[in-house]
Structures are given as structure tokens and as C-alpha cells.
Amino acid sequence: MSINTSHNNLYTYRAPHDPRSQQRNLDTLYSMLGLKQPTTYKDTRDLILAAPSADDVALRLAYAAYETDNPKKLVADAIKELQAAQAAEALKDAFLRAERTAGNTTIGNLVDQGVEDTREAFEKDTRALIEAATHLDATTPLDAEAAVALDAGVHLTTARGILARLGTYASIHTHAGANTGAPSHLTQILPIIELPEIVKEQVYRTPTEADPTANPNDIKGTLTVRQLGRDAQSNIDDTIIGIARGDYEGVTFRFGTRGEANRNGSVIRNAYVKDVIDNKRASFGY
């Protein structure tokens, strides 16, 4: 597949760095799809953080002091408001200290529930992308002029919109595949794809053949993943279009659970780590 390297990415993976950012990414996904949040966490947090502070109450009192017809009542009411505001500030501080602990405990299950709740929408989006991809230019699928020449403007619009949405799906997952030797852009799409079988390549310690690989018949999926990684690093959007077209045998779309995304991150290492083995001749003492 020829990869164009000349445009900004539509697919954007926003890696969550803590439970709170992961919760925000989940909120964004549910909002994008118009789905009801599975918890009242966001609404509760917003209410806690929006409560007026003691300074807010004092400032309002200072302005009201110029206009009130009943200073005594104003002050009495303000004292009650100030007490409530001070309690709200204490609650806010305590909540912000405690939410990380609560998030660490609950976010994993919420992510898996998010996958379950949104997988139908994901599959609908990827089916639409697969259909759109068949109409786009083979070399520059996201080029507007090429799409117009093919009378594929509607399909280009569909593809561009779905690429942006796919990044929102993926971003509910923490980063998988770090420190595996895989290109960074490949690891960014691991939450939304299923990989072919990856077998670690074995290479001879002192190759006597032009091809040093000892198990060439076993590593078809491995070589496919390496090509996928090279292409993704050059242009992640065009590569996702290539997946939609079936350019990478055995690579398909799947919105994975935490376990599936992490498993992708683990097995991807086998595509980039090689086992060095002794030559057959050497092992028999020749």
C-alpha cells in the first residue's frame, strides 16, 4: 500500500494519564454517541466544583450592601450562605483528594462497560468506513481533489468523520504496547483493531543463506504487523483506511476491552523481538 505523508491526522488518540482523564475520555465518548452516562459521577462532580466559594458570597454581599433595604436580613442570610460556602469548599478539597482513590478502584470496570455500551456504534461506524473506503482513491484516499475526480465526495466526508470518531473510542484506553519496539502510531490504534497471529521471528546466529530467517513460513502475520507499523508511522489515517480496505491480511477492526487492548500491547512485542538461534549445521557439529 502506498502511504501519503502530507496531511494532519484526523485520528487522534488522547492517552489518559490518570483515572480522572480516563473518566473524561469516557464522558466524551458517551456524549459523542448521545448515550446516557452509566454513572452520576460527572453530574455530581460538576455540582461539587460549581458550588460558590466563601469569596463569592462575600463579594456578592459587598455589592448588595449598597442597595439592600434590609441590612440586618442581608447580613443574617449572608452568614448562612457563608457557612454553606465554607462547607462546600471543604467538601471540594476533600473530594479532589479522594477521587483518585475512588477512580483507581472503579475506572477499569467503567471502561469495560463503556466498550460494551458503545461497541454497536463502533461496529456501525467501522462498517460505514469499510464501505466508504472502497470508493476512495487507492493512493491518496483522503485527498479532496482525488475524491471529486472519482465522484466520491460523500464517501470522503464519511471517512473523515469516522476517523475522528475512532480516536474518541480508542482514547478510553490507557496506552498499550509501550516499550515493545513497536512504532508509536501503531500502538495508538491497538484499542480498535484485532491482530493476526504473531510468531516471533527466529534468525540464524551466523546466516549462510541470503535470508537469515529460520522460520519464514511461520511469520506471515508478523511481517504484516511490521508493515502496518511502518505505514501507521508514516500516515495513521491512510493506514486505517487501508485496514478498512483489507490491505493488511488478518488485521480487522474490533473495539477491545481492557484485556483485549492490553493483550494486543503484549503480543505486539513478538513482532519486533527476534530470537537468535544456532545454525542447523553448527548444532550437529559440522
pLDDT digit string, tens, across residues 216-254: 999 999 999 999 999 999 999 999 999 999 999 999 999
Give dist(CA 37, CA 43) in Å, integer: 10
201 in Cβ contact with 225 (< 8 Å)? no
pLDDT in tens, 172-202: 999 988 888 899 999 999 999 999 989 999 9
Q: Which residue type occupies 47?
A: L
Classify residue 55 by burial, with Cβ atoms within 10 Å: 0-12, 13-18, 19+. exposed
pLDDT bracket for residue 8 (50, 70, 90):
confident
pLDDT at 283 over 70: no
Cα–Cα nearest to 202, from 219, 217, 220, 215: 215
pTM: 0.79
Classify residue 201 by burial, with Cβ atoms within 10 Å: 0-12, 13-18, 19+. buried
Provide, rounded to the nearest whole percent, the portion of the chain with pLDDT above 70: 93
User: Which carries the bigger pLDDT value, residue 280 or residue 124?
Assistant: 124
pLDDT at 92 over 90: no
The mean of the pLDDT values for the chain is 88
Segment among 22-31, 133-142, 260-269 with least mean pLDDT: 260-269
- Return the pLDDT at 207: 66
CA distance readout (Å), 88 to 56, 91, 98, 121: 12, 5, 15, 39
pLDDT in tens, 132-178: 999 999 999 999 999 999 999 999 999 999 999 999 999 999 998 88
